[in-house]
A and B are shown apart, each in its own frame.
Chain A
């Protein structure tokens, strides 16, 4: 087990070094795809906290992505001309605050009801962004200051993903992580064991909003043009969920692996059979749901356990 952990650490370090050096060897288009992967990994990691660990199928996390984007953009464009990072921090905190309020109301619902309610809330946010002309310029959208520096966006995204993995790894081993899993497995049992279920669920939801809003703010700055249709579209929510389904929700690295596979499939499908792009993606998801419903990471873990058991069997 210790050797396996060392191997995993070494692999992680190698991947990180490769990612750090990537901008030197990649074309701007490839770098853009890598940045997209990192941003998806970040959002998926956030969704993992509420959907994977706590077991609440949140279908509206794009709302926080959009709030992060608009919050960042509006502050940068304000008369104060707030610089990017403080603006991003503001957009993120705003999303977290909204998630806390929504969480207390919506997290009473379970399963499908929660999924539908969050879906509805995300749609409502799109409508608000579309109609609040004085703040969001409606469907025309807002234009952020241009920064055409691919390396900057790439490295910020990378730093956020690394931080996201570190935070998730820490949380997963803490009492908070245990509380989340207990809620997912049986909420009544969790409550009777002394777990404040409401507070832990709201925390998971708010943290998932933080991750999504960070990705939203960065995406907004990179693409410079923010509109309601682009930044509140359900595709983002679906991608977060798909990345978690592929990689394995409720694991630290699952969403990252899932995001990488999704991005790879998505770009390959796009460049080779652009007409069939959605069907290829859809088929992949069906395959995963049918044959690896808990995702790749648990599959790997079970495989390792089987191997270890087989080896122990041979020794005795």
Chain B
């Protein structure tokens, strides 16, 4: 297996707050990796560091053998790492199609692509994620489920090798979650390596090849999903010490 991403000892400090502390992890090409952890554990900060939105205070990030620790965020996007935002960031005044077309213009396949070609790519991706019927609507008019789908479409338009999906299922109902899971599987089938942050355990257990657990800014577990959730420190992080001593959650 080929190592796609290697994170070595990264730390991010905001003033006195350690958002992540000395975290190591590797992502192999073709994996689906779930990142879980209680609120405030540092999951989003980790994604922010890898995608270049924040610069880590210490540590190294290597993507496809290249050190990208100090690389500007837009260049990381063009190299093939795309991410969604937990708090969705649509370009509100633009129509859905243009939102996605911008990803196709400036992402990995964007150089030398005309705006017309980018719009054609956008149409293909909108059909894939099931937003084609909203194509001409302004992003400001979408429902939360559609906005989550738009986040996904924007990153797909960048033709990434590695995507970070930051809680794309949050706020969706059961049917919508089923559809979104199918969509993520399709994305993975098409050859994209997927790392996702999620609280919905059904999704985490059902989709991940491997689960990484963050707690209080540190990585406390990393392994196959069924083994990871048996670990006492993971149970403690989620349910408290009392359950951990009992060995299994009630």
Q: How far is the CA of A184 from the CA of B98 in the complex (A)?
A: 14
How does the 8 Å CB contact mask read for A130-170 relative to B, with 1 for contact and 0 for none?
A: 00000000000000000000000000000000000000000
Interface check B73, CB cutoff 8 A: yes
Chain A, 184-201, CB within 8 A of any chain B CB = 184-186, 188-197
Q: Secondary structure at chain A's binding surface: helix, strand, loop or mixed? A: helix
Given contacts A182-B102, A193-B107, A195-B74, are A175 and B91 in contact (CB under 8 A)? Answer: no
A48: shortest Cβ distance to chain B, in Å? 15
Residues of B within 8 A of A191 (CB): 52-53, 73-74, 77
Interface check B106, CB cutoff 8 A: yes
Interface contact A193-B93, CB-CB below 8 Å: no
The interface of chain B, by Cβ under 8 A from chain A, is 51-53, 72-74, 77-78, 82-83, 85, 89-94, 98, 101-103, 105-108, 110, 115, 154, 158
B172: shortest Cβ distance to chain A, in Å? 21
Chain A, 44-59, CB within 8 A of any chain B CB = none
Interface contact B53-A175, CB-CB below 8 Å: no
Q: How far is the CA of A182 from the CA of B103 in the complex (A)?
A: 10
Can you list 26 A-B pairs with a CB-CB distance of less than 8 A? A175-B106, A178-B101, A179-B105, A179-B106, A181-B91, A181-B93, A182-B102, A184-B93, A185-B93, A186-B89, A186-B91, A188-B85, A188-B89, A189-B89, A189-B90, A191-B52, A191-B73, A191-B77, A192-B73, A192-B74, A192-B85, A194-B74, A194-B106, A194-B110, A196-B74, A197-B74
Q: How far is the CA of A192 from the CA of B73 in the complex (A)?
A: 6
Output the residue of B89, B94, B110 with the most chain A CB within 10 A.
B89
Identity of the chain A residue whose Cβ is nearest the Cβ of B72 in the assembled complex: A196
Interface check A174, CB cutoff 8 A: yes
* New A-B pairs, 13, CB < 8 Å, besides A188-B85, A194-B77, A194-B103: A174-B115, A178-B101, A178-B105, A179-B105, A179-B106, A182-B94, A185-B90, A189-B91, A190-B91, A192-B83, A193-B106, A194-B107, A194-B158
Interface contact A185-B53, CB-CB below 8 Å: no
Residues of A within 8 A of B93 (CB): 181, 184-185, 250
Interface check A173, CB cutoff 8 A: yes
Q: Considering the complex of A and B, which 6 residue pairs feature the smallest CB-CB distances, nearest first? A: A194-B106, A185-B91, A189-B89, A194-B77, A191-B73, A194-B78
B112: shortest Cβ distance to chain A, in Å? 10
Interface contact A178-B98, CB-CB below 8 Å: yes
| B102 interface neighbour in A173, A178, A196, A197, Cβ under 8 Å | A178
Output the residue of A173, A174, A181, A189 with the most chain B CB within 10 A.
A189
| A192 interface neighbour in B53, B90, B105, B110, Cβ under 8 Å | B53
Output the residue of A188, A190, A195 with the most chain B CB within 10 A.
A195
Given contacts A174-B115, A181-B93, are A188 and B53 in contact (CB under 8 A)? Answer: yes
Residues of B within 8 A of A197 (CB): 74
Residues of B within 8 A of A194 (CB): 74, 77-78, 103, 106-108, 110, 158
Given contacts A178-B105, A194-B107, are A189 and B98 in contact (CB under 8 A)? Answer: no
Residues of A within 8 A of B98 (CB): 178
Identity of the chain B residue whose Cβ is nearest the Cβ of A177 in the assembled complex: B115
Q: How far is the CA of A84 from the CA of B66 in the complex (A)?
A: 53
Given contacts A194-B77, A195-B106, are A189 and B85 in contact (CB under 8 A)? Answer: yes
B88: shortest Cβ distance to chain A, in Å? 9
A191: shortest Cβ distance to chain B, in Å? 5
Residues of B within 8 A of A188 (CB): 53, 85, 89
Residues of A within 8 A of B115 (CB): 173-175, 178
Interface contact B91-A182, CB-CB below 8 Å: yes
Q: How far is the CA of A179 from the CA of B105 in the complex (A)?
A: 9
Q: How far is the CA of A179 from the CA of B110 in the complex (A)?
A: 12
Q: How far is the CA of A175 from the CA of B104 in the complex (A)?
A: 11
Chain A, 171-223, CB within 8 A of any chain B CB = 173-175, 178-179, 181-182, 184-186, 188-197
